[in-house]
Amino acid sequence: MSWRRLNGTKISEPVVEEVERTILEETENGYKLKICIGTDSQVFKDMVEFATVIVFLREKRGGFMFIENSSLKQKPSLKERMIMEVARSVDIAYQLCHVLEKHNVALEVHADINTDSEFKSNVALKEAMGYIKGMGFIFKAKPYAFASSTVADKFV
């Protein structure tokens, strides 16, 4: 995976190390942080493009993010694609959870899935919620899942 900052600067260290370094730096500067992780995807012909984001929220002071893009040469069903998005977010959350616990940083995993059954993405809601909560993470879906539905959406 190749992570970068919003300004395009590549993150050369493993993302776990960079997140910990960033937490230490932000805490030293007096900020209380919360991290939200989300993934969005888009289908292009027979390929799926994914964007995963780690959003650092500074309490009452804005935020910033790390971004990772990837692609997959297949065209899964909508439900499969929604679960793939969630799996990518959960994977990153799992990699980071020990660092976040160590530094007492709150974590949410956001799913780009609508809670309204009128929307197609709702077909994966129960599975996504079970997966995220089953891993011990705080689950957020639309309209509260800004990391996936708004932020990651801009980078697919």
Mean pLDDT of the region 135-147: 95
Domain that holds residue 82: 3-155
Does position 70 have pLDDT exceeding 90, yes or no? yes
- Rounded to the nearest angstrom, the gap between the alpha carbon of residue 130 and the centroid of all alpha carbons in its chain is 17
Domain harbouring 144, CATH code: 3.30.420
Q: Give pLDDT tens digits for 36-53.
A: 999 999 999 889 999 999
The Cα–Cα gap between 39 and 113 comes to 11
Find out whether 102 and 129 touch, Cβ atoms under 8 Å.
no
Sheet holding 3-5, edge to edge: 3-5, 63-72, 47-58, 33-44, 106-114, 138-142
Domain count, the chain: 1
What's the confidence (pLDDT) of residue 120?
87
What is the reported pTM? 0.94
Query: pLDDT per residue over 88-129, tens digit each?
Result: 999 999 999 999 999 999 999 999 998 888 888 888 999 999
pLDDT band at 1 (very low <50, low <70, confident <90, very high): low
